[in-house]
Amino acid sequence: MALVFAGIDPDTGGDNCPAVFIDDETGDLIFQGWKVTDPKMLADVAKHSPIADNESAVRLPAHHRVRVRLGTRGPAR
């Protein structure tokens, strides 16, 4: 498996930044973002899909939607 870099937050200085990657074998999306810790937000997520012990809710900036759309079409080759 190799990750294809889809994009990074353009407003970052380069460290610890929200980013999107694509697994080149499966097309799965990998998100690097801010871990959601707000109890109310986590409860809202869990109403629709319980969060397993090996999962996290992650927040990305709204402008990352473009990178997520890219990932749903798969990496450019």
**The whole model's pTM is what?**
0.73
Q: What per-residue confidence (pLDDT) applies to 70?
A: 63
pLDDT tens by residue, the chain, 77 residues: 689 888 887 777 766 678 888 898 998 888 899 999 999 999 999 999 999 999 999 988 887 777 677 655 554 43
Among 22, 27, 17, 18, residue whose Cα is nearest residue 6: 22
**Are the C-beta atoms of residues 47 and 40 closer than 8 Å to each other?**
no
